[in-house]
Amino acid sequence: MDTLALRPTPRRPIWVMRQAGRYLPEYRALRKRHAFKEMVETPALAVEVTLQPMRRYGLDAAIIFSDILVLLAALGVSYEIVEDKGPVLARSIRTAEDFESLSHEPVTDSLGYVYETLSILRKELPPEVALLGFAGAPWTLASYAIEGGNSKGGFSAIRVLLDSDPALFGKIMDRITDGVIDHLQAQLANGADAVQLFDSWAGMLNEADFRRAALPYLKRIAVELEPGPVIFFPKGASQWLTKEEVDQFKILGVDGSQSLGFYREKFGQDFVLQGNLDPAILITDMQTIRTEARAVLDSHGSQPGHIFNLGHGITPDVPPDHMKALVAAVHEHTFKETT
């Protein structure tokens, strides 16, 4: 938490997106006995999966094992995770009638299992280890809701709705944004030290469309959740932000399309950066992992305000020992900087 306050730390903190999950053999063993949604919705199982990488690696933050689609389920759009296909929603939201059929109950009424998991984790984890909650950003969640799951056609349905019926698009985005705010606030109230907002599909937009279709809702969340803390991760779109917008967000997660040095030069020092090693590096070899990790650290420099992470989620084919090498490289290298 010192890093989030821009205070010096004895080493650079590290966690990685999707650190709790399918690259770990202990997760795969558990997954053979339990369905994905069962694991997400059962606090004892979600706690176990969250803690698995913490036991192995000594990471500086734990992120709750959950899914961004739990929020859509709370709005009345159920989902399933289909092997080798990804998320499939029971229905799509494309018309005014579809929108009216969404639940009007508070999303927090349906998501108690998330908050119970966080409460248990906060008691299980050492106080110096940060606990992170998360949610999908409105644009990304709307993309799934309108498409009905993963899109094979470049998210054409949401693009059509954005231009053909902007009023309905705005209603859908407002309803989702309300739910995101409530869900993140509840996570912060139930043990999360910070929360991350995943806008995983922001980069499918051009800059102009990002500014009209995604950014206004991100800004609203930043205002409503002040002081947070909230880590904003608009994958593929961070480079379009202005200094004023970054100052509003305060904590910015970035992918690997630009160096950390690029963001520091563009935006200055008075905000926290998170990122941004290419996840593919973890499939290479130990020496490459160490070299590339140091390059990310050097790109940022030794000043406070950096959380080491990947540019996106860890992939299932990463050998667990490679993740161990990454954590060691980050901790050892940054420890030397401060001694």
Q: Which residues belong to the active site?
A: 18, 22, 31, 67, 144
Q: Are strands 86-89 and 130-136 parallel, antiparallel or unpaired?
A: unpaired
> In degrees, to the nearest 5, what angle opens at C-alpha 234 toward C-alphas 99 and 79?
40
Q: Give alpha helix (H) positions in the chain.
A: 25-31, 36-41, 43-57, 70-74, 96-100, 112-124, 138-147, 156-164, 166-189, 207-213, 215-224, 243-249, 260-267, 286-300, 320-337
Using CA atoms, how far apart are residues 64 and 62, in angstroms rounded to an integer? Answer: 6
Supply the DSSP symbol for 315. P
Using CA atoms, how far apart are residues 210 and 197, in angstroms rounded to an integer? Answer: 16
Instruction: Find, among 169, 13, 142, the residue nearest to 72 by Cα.
Output: 142
Using CA atoms, how far apart are residues 203 and 120, in angstroms rounded to an integer? Answer: 35
> In degrees, to the nearest 5, what angle opens at C-alpha 211 toward C-alphas 207 and 216?
155
Spatial CB neighbours of 296, under 8 Å, sequence gap ≥ 6:
260, 275, 276, 277, 308
Pair 145, 93: CB distance under 8 Å: yes
What angle separates helix 320-337 from helix 286-300, to the nearest 10 degrees?
40
Chain centroid to Cα 10, Å, comes to: 25
Pair 210, 202: CB distance under 8 Å: yes
Report the DSSP beta bridge partners of residue 308: 14, 275
Pair 313, 279: CB distance under 8 Å: yes
